[in-house]
């Protein structure tokens, strides 16, 4: 796939009237905020745009939907396809670049005559053909790319778009503290302050200050079960179906749990194993300096950044932990 310029990307978007966006599984602030900002921009131009999600939005991010999100897969399949929407003209992956990251929606994506992606991870698995796209591995967030595309569309960024893009960039940069943060991240954010009414404080409050008591109980159970390996350099936490039943929390409430594991003194790499059923485990991987967790994720058909990645295991949570321990064996003597 040839990397399109921002202007080329915007021009190709304008060639289509019905556009469906596909955020990645385990939606975070970047994939949802970026998708919503672009969706709103396209709608302002008279386009029929929608975000097709494959799961419930985490409670801390529900304000980012902005009326753009549907989970009605049947509306795009079989005899119901196109009812209420129209035939898909363009399918666009946002913040991801392979089919494994839009699990459960692959057939809808592949049914579109034109396919594209916007991503800042790089395409780790070559499992589909894109007609065009913009991939910037050195961008801190997909929201940065979306910002420039919206500008090329000629759309003035309003308050909802600014809030969505701010959420996208701030969450993927750890409030501008992670090593992926660049001067451009700050320059784009500075532009949001020119939007009437923009204030980052309420956005951060919506993301960080609405934790339910059940979520806190689940986090406590996860913390109690953390296992440390290789002299404390690898930390592994678990969230099981039994823990969800005991606490009344949801799997979508686990956003950020992996950072609790990584925050332990001496831990260089952290894994959070999330048991969706007896044979399906989704894993979040995080690392401090000098550990490439994206390389681990790619081994299991996942992907991400050097310090933040994810993958899926088809097996039990015990099997997943055993395999990951083996993958991180290089930490035993501090080598990689």
Is residue 334 very low, low, confident or very high in pLDDT (cuts 50, 70, 90)?
Answer: low
Average model confidence (pLDDT) across the chain: 93
Closest CA to 166 of 37, 290, 57: 37
Residue 169 — left, alpha, or beta (φ > 0 → left; ψ -120 to 50 → alpha)?
A: alpha
Is residue 84 very low, low, confident or very high in pLDDT (cuts 50, 70, 90)?
Answer: low
Neighbour tally for 56: CB within 10 Å: 12
Q: How confident is the model over 43-53, as pLDDT tens digits?
A: 999 999 999 99
Helix/strand/coil (H, E, C) string of the chain?
CCECCHHHHHHHHCCCCEEEEEECCCCCHHHHHHHHHHHHHHHHCCCEEEEECCCCCCHHHHHHCCCCEECCHHHHCHHHCCCCCCCCCEEEEECCCCHHHHCCCHHHHHHCCEEEEEECCCCCCCCCCCCEEEECCCCCCHHHHHHHHHHHCCCCCCHHHHHHHHHHHHHHCCCCCCCCCCHHHHHHHHHHCCCCCCCHHHHHHHHHCCCCHHHHHHHHHHHHCCEEECCCCEEEEEECHHHHHHHCCCHHHHCCHHHHHHCCCCCCEEEEEEEEECCEEEEEEEECCCCCHHHHHHHCCCEECCCEEEEEECCCHHHHHHHHHHHCHHHHHCCC
Residue 145 — left, alpha, or beta (φ > 0 → left; ψ -120 to 50 → alpha)?
A: alpha
Q: How confident is the model over 26-45, as pLDDT tens digits?
A: 899 999 999 999 999 999 99
Closest CA to 100 of 280, 239, 241: 280
pLDDT at 79: 46
CA distance 143 to 98: 18
pLDDT at 125 over 60: no
Domains of the chain: 6-207 (3.90.1640.10), 213-333 (3.10.310.30)
CA distance 274 to 255: 11
pLDDT at 1: 77
Q: How confident is the model over 267-305, as pLDDT tens digits?
A: 999 999 999 999 999 999 999 988 999 899 989 988 888
Mean pLDDT of 189-194: 98
């Amino acid at each position: 796939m040839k990397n399109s310029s921002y202007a080329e990307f915007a021009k190709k978007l304008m060639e289509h009237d019905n556009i469906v966006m596909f955020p990645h599984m385990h939606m975070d602030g970047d994939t949802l905020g970026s998708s919503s900002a672009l969706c709103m921009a396209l709608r302002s131009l008279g386009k029929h745009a929608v975000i097709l999600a494959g799961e419930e939005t985490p409670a801390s991010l529900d304000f980012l939907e902005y009326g753009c999100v549907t989970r009605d897969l049947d509306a795009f399949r079989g005899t119901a396809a196109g009812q209420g929407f129209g035939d898909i003209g363009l399918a666009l992956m946002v913040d991801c670049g392979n089919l494994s990251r839009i699990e459960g929606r692959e057939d809808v994506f592949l049914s579109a005559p034109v396919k594209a992606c916007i991503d800042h991870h790089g395409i780790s698995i070559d499992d589909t053909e894109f007609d065009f796209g913009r991939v910037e591995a050195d961008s801190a967030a997909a929201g940065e790319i979306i910002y420039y595309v919206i500008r090329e569309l000629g759309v003035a960024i309003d308050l909802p778009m600014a809030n969505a893009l701010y959420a996208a960039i701030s969450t993927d940069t750890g409030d501008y503290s992670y090593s992926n943060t660049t001067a451009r991240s700050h320059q784009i954010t500075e532009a949001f302050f020119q939007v009437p009414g923009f204030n980052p404080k309420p956005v951060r409050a919506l993301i960080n200050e609405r934790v339910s008591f059940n979520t806190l109980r689940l986090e406590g159970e996860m913390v109690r079960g953390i296992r440390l390996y290789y002299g404390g350099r690898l930390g592994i936490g678990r969230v099981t179906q039994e823990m969800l039943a005991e606490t009344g929390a949801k799997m979508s409430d686990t956003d950020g749990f992996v950072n609790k594991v990584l925050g332990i003194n001496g831990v260089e790499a952290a894994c959070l194993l999330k048991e969706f059923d007896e044979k399906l485990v989704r894993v979040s991987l995080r690392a401090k300096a000098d550990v490439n967790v994206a390389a681990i994720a790619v081994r299991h058909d996942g992907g991400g950044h050097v310090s933040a990645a994810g993958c899926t295991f088809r097996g039990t949570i015990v099997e997943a932990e055993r395999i990951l321990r083996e993958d991180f064996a290089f930490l035993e003597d501090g080598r990689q």
